[in-house]
């Protein structure tokens, strides 16, 4: 099972759940497949996650604590933990 940690801003799509589990076949699959499975579990979440066929540039994806560098083609092991981290904004640097 792949565990996806859902950031607060996306929890309305997950019915408030902090994490969601999806099942990949033995050997894993692509990040694209994980996002499709997540969409099936949390309808509507794919919209804010994706942009022009890839992960939205304002979202960092970490797979087992390593930042994804290959976008939606990144390989995801069948027992991975994924963290979605939206960019932080606001504030003033003085």
Tens digit of each residue's pLDDT (9 = 90 or more) over 8-43: 999 999 999 999 999 999 999 999 999 999 999 999
CA distance 44 to 66: 26
What residue ranges in the chain does DSSP mark as E strands?
A: 2-5, 19-22, 29-30, 50-51, 54-55, 59-63, 66-67, 75-76, 81-86
The superfamily CATH assigns to domain 2-86 is Beta-grasp domain (3.10.20.30)
- pLDDT tens, residue by residue, 65-90: 999 999 999 999 999 999 999 876 65
């Amino acid at each position: 099972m792949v565990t996806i940690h859902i950031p607060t801003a996306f929890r309305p799509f997950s019915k408030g759940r902090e994490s969601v589990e999806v099942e990949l076949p033995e050997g894993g699959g692509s990040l694209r497949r994980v996002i499709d499975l997540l969409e099936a579990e949390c309808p509507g979440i794919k919209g804010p996650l994706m942009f022009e066929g890839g992960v939205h540039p304002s979202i960092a994806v970490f797979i087992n604590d390593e930042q994804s560098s290959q976008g939606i083609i990144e390989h995801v092991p069948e027992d991975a933990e994924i963290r979605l981290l939206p960019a932080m904004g606001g504030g003033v640097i003085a």
